[in-house]
């Protein structure tokens, strides 16, 4: 299916989502949000898609909401029903991207401002071009970072870091974003595509059920006391063994012992042993 403001393709079982309004810094419009939502629904239904790479066209990842579109109009109208009507698609695809149990990698190719920083946080891994810049400028317009944007920075950064971004409206470069922990790594701009592709392929090669469980544990245990985390992890050991059909014991550990190391999928041992 072709779209007007999003490019979507599946390559080697990886779904590639590219925001495609380069002339507007890939700012979100209601049309774009409906298209990304449709893409996410497709990905959810297609189990053959093992991972997602999320990026933008041109020199920007996304500049956030396009205020020339319906977003500003509905705010001016003070019509809450219409406002939610145009906002719900973006909030829905945000949630689908965050909840997807498969690997997700953001390739931040340029500017990421306002709501444009949210997908960076929602993805499991974020690789930034050394040309990328980040910022939450809402405070400069008598507003605040909303629609999940404050969560996006407060969830991963230390208080003095995310409060600075929310309260100053200043922009930071890729290296500063790395220092703050907002992105996973920074690479030269001409290597971004290659490095991001390597990363999503690496993650997609893991056992899908094990990846899902590990992703869940990473998100849940950080909010628990130590003893609570231990109990939850012990329970999920049994669930993971059941869902993976015992691959850890029956295949992966045997691969390791026999030095036929391709743990995670069992492909080597199944083919050779």
pLDDT tens, 82-97?
767 778 899 999 999 9
Residues with Cβ < 8 Å from 73, sequence gap 6 or more? none
Q: What is the mean pLDDT of the chain?
A: 88
**pLDDT tens by residue, 6-50:** 999 999 999 999 999 999 999 999 999 999 999 999 999 999 999
Give domain 6-204's CATH number out of 3.90.226.10, 1.10.20.140, 3.40.50.2020, 3.40.50.2300: 3.90.226.10
HSE-up of 92 (CA within 13 Å, CB side)? 18
Between residues 33 and 264, the one the model is more confident about: 33
Residues facing residue 172 across a β-bridge: 134
Question: At 77, is the pLDDT very low, low, confident or very high (cuts 50, 70, 90)?
Answer: low
pLDDT tens by residue, 164-182: 999 999 999 999 999 999 9
- pLDDT at residue 109 in the model: 98
d(CA 29, CA 46): 26
**DSSP-derived pairing of the beta strands 125-129 and 104-108:** parallel
Q: What is the pTM of this model?
A: 0.88
The residue that leads in pLDDT, 122 or 209, is 122
- The domain limits of the chain are 6-204, 208-272
Give the DSSP per-residue string, 84-148: HHHHHHHHHHHHHHHH-SS-EEEEE-SEEEGGGGHHHHHSSEEEEETT-EEE--GGGGT---TTT
């Amino acid at each position: 299916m072709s779209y007007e403001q999003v490019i979507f393709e599946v390559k080697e079982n990886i779904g590639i989502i590219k925001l495609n309004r380069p002339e507007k810094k890939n700012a979100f419009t209601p049309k774009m949000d409906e298209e990304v939502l449709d893409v996410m629904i497709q990905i959810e239904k297609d189990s053959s898609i093992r991972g997602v790479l999320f990026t933008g066209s041109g020199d920007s990842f996304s500049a956030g909401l396009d205020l020339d579109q319906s977003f500003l109009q509905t705010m001016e109208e003070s019509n809450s029903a219409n406002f939610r009507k145009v906002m719900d698609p973006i909030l829905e695809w945000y949630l689908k991207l965050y909840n997807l149990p498969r690997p997700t990698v953001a390739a931040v190719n340029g500017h990421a401002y306002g709501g444009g920083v949210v997908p960076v946080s929602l993805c499991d891994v974020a690789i930034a071009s050394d040309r990328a810049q980040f910022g939450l400028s809402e405070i400069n317009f008598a507003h605040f970072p909303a629609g999940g944007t404050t969560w996006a920075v407060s969830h991963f950064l230390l208080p003095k870091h995310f409060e600075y971004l929310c309260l100053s409206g200043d922009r930071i470069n890729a290296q500063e974003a790395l220092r703050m922990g907002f992105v996973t790594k920074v690479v030269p701009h001409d290597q971004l595509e290659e490095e991001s592709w390597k990363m999503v392929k690496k993650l997609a090669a893991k056992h899908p059920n094990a990846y899902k469980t590990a992703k869940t544990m990473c998100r849940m245990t950080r909010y628990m006391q130590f003893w609570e985390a231990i109990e939850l992890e012990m329970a999920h050991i049994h669930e993971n063994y059941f869902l993976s059909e015992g691959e850890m014991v029956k295949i992966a550990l045997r691969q390791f012992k026999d030095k036929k190391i391709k743990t995670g999928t069992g492909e080597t041992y199944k083919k050779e042993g």
